Amino acid sequence: MLRITNTHTGKKEPFIPLEEGKVRMYVCGPTVYGLIHLGNARPAVVFDAFRRYLEYRGFKVTMVQNFTDIDDKIINAANAVGVDYKRYADRFIAEYWVDAHLLGLRAANFHPRTTDYLPEIIDIIQRLIVKGHAYVADGDVYFSVKSFPRYGELSNRKIEEMLSGARVDPSENKRFPLDFALWKAAKPGEPSWESPWGNGRPGWHIECSAMSMSLLGESFDIHAGGNDLVFPHHENEKAQSEALTGKPFARYWMHNGMLRFSGEKMAKSVGNIFNAREAVMRFGRDAVRLFLLSKHYTSPIDLSEEFLQDSRKAARRVRDTLKRAQNAGIAEKFVKADPWVMEVESRFEEALDDDFNTPVAVSLIFELVNILNTALDNNDEERAARAYDLIVRRFGPVLGLFDLQEEERKRADEENLFDSVMNVILDTRNHLRKQKQYELADQIRDKLEKLGIKLMDTPQGTQFTLDADG
């Protein structure tokens, strides 16, 4: 039985979907005003993997992840470079897809954009006004927090606490400091849409309610995002949605911990890997995903170059072992689900059923890599084939790790020549060894080693590894 930490109750709870066998989930997506950084990549990778696990567990998952394509940040950034806000947002949606590919993120079932949901947003606001949960003030529309007594329930905050921290902008016409904007009256030079309250644009929170309820229904299973969104974004989404429908909005709220940048020195040194794209370019997809999945999703992660380097070395070790198994013909073998395979699978499932404990699942994969290496050393093909199958075909795809198809494609693109040249060198060296010209063969080995290419003579033939990790 899968259990997850529900922010709403603060407890680890059994996960029971509204409809048996089906999961409807909404993940708050990026505001598209720039390239995503590793902090944005964390929820994307974590909930991508979580969705894969739900599917592995047999659930039919409908996943929605939005693009916020209208927002102060987008308008300001677009103005700064002198382009229309829409062109600007389109550009960074396109960039997002580049990064999604680099990070190995599967597309959700729906990727709605805020500006495609204006009729739905306006309809919800209208109904909230009619029900007395919202009011119009000078072209703005605000949600009335006092009209929803359970406000604060999700983030576990008391109204008095929230009031003490509330800042009121004198230009706003709120009746109560915690009220929040559902609709903002148009300001000169800003993009705007027609509405019953005059031209304007939607507030941030209402868009997620409109997109999630339109695509998933008034009640759905999981609402997810970074824990910086719990308050006010998710608290507000919940209040306005439940005030509207009188039904529970999301049943489970899942939040990932933040990526931390502590200390100025570290901030400087991590400046260039902060960007998700650069991190993947420098360390590789598997390293970045390992880095993000090696800590429990609810915990914070400190961004460090060292941790990313270690992840890269670990990923390289796995790949070298998988390659060794492929060269030995292990990949083609068929594997029966014997008791050992079933035991390992149940350990994997136990870990991920326990609040999606990816650190334990990742360490299980490394354990299998060791088993695979030993089995290859001992020419134990049966065991090697079982371990290989579990890594590559069962567990890797759940965490989005060690995608060999991608590897093959990349190899075909880039590394083909290098591999061919290496094969020529290795063939020549083997030839020399057969002719007992060991001195020459050793010279080749030593010279390659100086270039960071290490040769290993194994029962399956000569292998090489690139020791570029320093």
The interface with Zn ion within residues 316-375 (CB under 5 A) comprises: none
Backbone torsions φ then ψ of 386, nearest 5 degrees? -65, -45
Which of 25, 54, 141, 208 binds Zn ion (CB under 5 A)? It is 208
Q: Which of 43/200 has CB closer to Zn ion?
A: 43
Judged by CB under 5 A, which stretch of 28-36, 274-282, 292-300, 369-377 contacts Zn ion? Answer: 28-36
Total residues interacting with Zn ion, rule: CB under 5 A = 2
Min dist. Cβ of residue 413 to Zn ion (A): 37
Instruction: Give the nearer residue to Zn ion in terms of CB position, either 37 or 223.
Output: 223
* Contact window for Zn ion (CB under 5 A) among 173-181, 207-215, 250-258, 385-393: 207-215
State which residue, 66 or 195, has the beta carbon closest to Zn ion.
Answer: 66
> Is 256 in contact with 227 (CB distance < 8 Å)?
yes
Give the nearer residue to Zn ion in terms of CB position, either 30 or 284. Answer: 30
Q: Give the C-alpha separation, 411 to 213, whole Å.
A: 43
Minimum gap (Å) between residue 130 Cβ and Zn ion: 24
Minimum separation from the CB atom of position 24 to Zn ion (A): 15
Stretch that binds Zn ion, among 21-29, 240-248, 338-346, 375-383 (CB under 5 A): 21-29
Q: How far apart are CA 346 and CA 151, in angstroms?
A: 41
Closest distance to Zn ion from the beta carbon of 151 (Å): 17
Q: Determine if the peptide bond prior to 359 is cis (ω within 30°).
A: no
Neighbours of 227 (CB within 10 A): 19
CB of 452 to Zn ion, least distance (A): 46
Pair 321, 338: CB distance under 8 Å: no
**Does the protein bind Zn ion through residue 154 (CB under 5 A)?**
no
C-beta closer to Zn ion: residue 5 or 240: 240
> Is 28 one of the binding residues for Zn ion (CB under 5 A)?
yes
CA distances from 106 to 98, 110, 397 (A): 12, 11, 11
Containing 256, the helix (H) or strand (E) segment is strand 250-256
Nearer to Zn ion, 71 or 179 (CB): 71
Going by C-beta distance under 8 Å and a sequence separation of 6 or more, which residues neighbour residue 195?
122, 125, 183
Residue identified by tokens 């993947």 is 280
User: How far is Cα 207 from Cα 221, in angstroms, rounded to an integer?
Assistant: 18
Task: Please give the Cα distance from 243 to 222 (Å, whole number).
Answer: 19
Binding stretches for Zn ion (CB under 5 A)? 28, 208
